[in-house]
Structure 1
Amino acid sequence: MTEFTIHDEHTAPDEARPVLAGIRKYLGFIPNLYGIMAESPEALNAYQALSQQFRRTSLPKGGQDVVWLTVSRLNGCHYCMAVHSTNALRSGLDSEAVAALRDGEPLADPQLEAIRRFTQAVVTEQGDVPEDEVQQFVSAGFAQRQILDVLVGVAMKTLSNYINHLAHTPLDDAFTAQAWEA
């Protein structure tokens, strides 16, 4: 098994050091995923850019959490499931919704459920979503903008999920309360 280095702002390539320093300043620590991504400043910067853009999307409150958890569950990413479960609870998504997302179950909120279903269809159908699924999403009050917004989140999570699979990223202590296995 290839062992990936978990960098910090002192060991990372020069181009990644300021990004890691900023993450430490913002979060108080550098999550292992970012430390691994730092080996490639381009991967780290790409993930950061996708993350920043996804946070600006027009999805309703809780919608981003739904995308992150749905993609991570479908991709079987233990690391991202723990991180995004923790963050979803901190951002106000109720524990019943987080539990349902972790189990792949329907959500009680109709708009969040529409996002979950559409995200699931995007991932399982590899983007070739059946028209009836697209129409169900639109019928729930969403438009082409939100279709594309979901795709930004899917791209973001696919990148991190695959890195975590390849690197076998160890879970940070901050997220162990929400540990998850596929």
Structure 2
Amino acid sequence: MKACSSALKARVSFNCPASWTRRGGRHPGARRRAARLRARAAGRGPACRRRLAPPVARLATSLHLLDGFLKLSGIFEQTTLEPVAREVVVMTVAVRNECHVCVAMHTGKLRELGADEGLVTALHERRPLADPKLDAVRRFTLAVLAKAGGVEDEAVKDFLSYGYTEQNALEVVLGIGTYTLSTFANRLTGAGL
């Protein structure tokens, strides 16, 4: 696997898969979507106003993965979890999966949201958070990861006891899935800042 990983790290291609470009293929409008994603990743054309961060653009080696990540992260941003709680999910996944680029990017996002340095430091160091409600999110995220979703009833009850809902519990799962995809892809491609 090391050779494959090195090859991926050395090459970032913006060629779209044949299944996206064939006339009469399975994906109507896929040529335009692929072109938009490539342009956005490269910072060209009208899409460059929303240019992707370089580590995210690196995912354009697989336009399917990039498209999926962008859609999932957009959906996760619309969940009913508070913005800082969403970032606690992301940072918990990123720190656990040792994705240094994600940790750096989402540390910045936490600071933009006004999170205090104690929260950021605790997340980096895998320590309990001073805010009990946010720590419930961190603990629940870790429980879901540890049990591949099959968490004990007590862990669910604990999470719900902080005012979260069953919908929020499933939104945590969405965040875990989205950012597991991102952290794994970033590590595989050697994405850096």
Gap change, CA 1:100 and 1:75, over 3 Å in 2: same
**Which structure 2 residue ranges, 5 or more long, are not aligned?**
1-5, 17-30
Find out whether 1:102 has 2:124 as its counterpart: yes
| Deviation sequence 1:50-109 (CA, Å, 0-9, x none) | 111000111124101100000111111111111111111112111110111111111111
| Deviation sequence 1:98-129 (CA, Å, 0-9, x none) | 11111111111121111111011111222121
Find out whether 1:17 has 2:38 as its counterpart: yes
Q: CA contact under 8 A between 2:39 and 2:48: conserved in structure 1?
A: no
Q: CA contact under 8 A between 1:37 and 1:44: conserved in structure 2?
A: yes
Query: Equivalent residues in 2 for 1:1-182 (5 A)?
Result: 1-4=6-9, 5-6=11-12, 11=14, 13=16, 15=34, 16-20=37-41, 21=43, 24-26=48-50, 30-171=52-193
Instruction: Report the identity percentage.
Output: 31
* Counterpart secondary structure, 1:2: helix
Root-mean-square deviation (Å): 1.9
Task: Count matched residues.
Answer: 166
Letter in 1 for 2:49: K
Larger radius of gyration: 2
Cα distance in 1 between the residues matched to 2:15 and 2:85? 33
Q: CA contact under 8 A between 1:79 and 1:170: conserved in structure 2?
A: yes
Gap change, CA 1:125 and 1:19, over 3 Å in 2: same
Cα distance in 1 between the residues matched to 2:83 and 2:179? 18
TM-score of the superposed pair, with normalisation by structure 1: 0.83
* Counterpart secondary structure, 1:170: coil
- Higher deviation after alignment, 11-20 or 51-60: 11-20
TM-score of the superposed pair, with normalisation by structure 2: 0.79
Structure 1 residue 18: deviation in Å? 4.3
Q: CA contact under 8 A between 1:66 and 1:115: conserved in structure 2?
A: yes
| Deviation sequence 1:124-163 (CA, Å, 0-9, x none) | 2221212111110011111110011101100111001100
**Which structure 1 residue ranges, 5 or more long, are not aligned?**
172-182
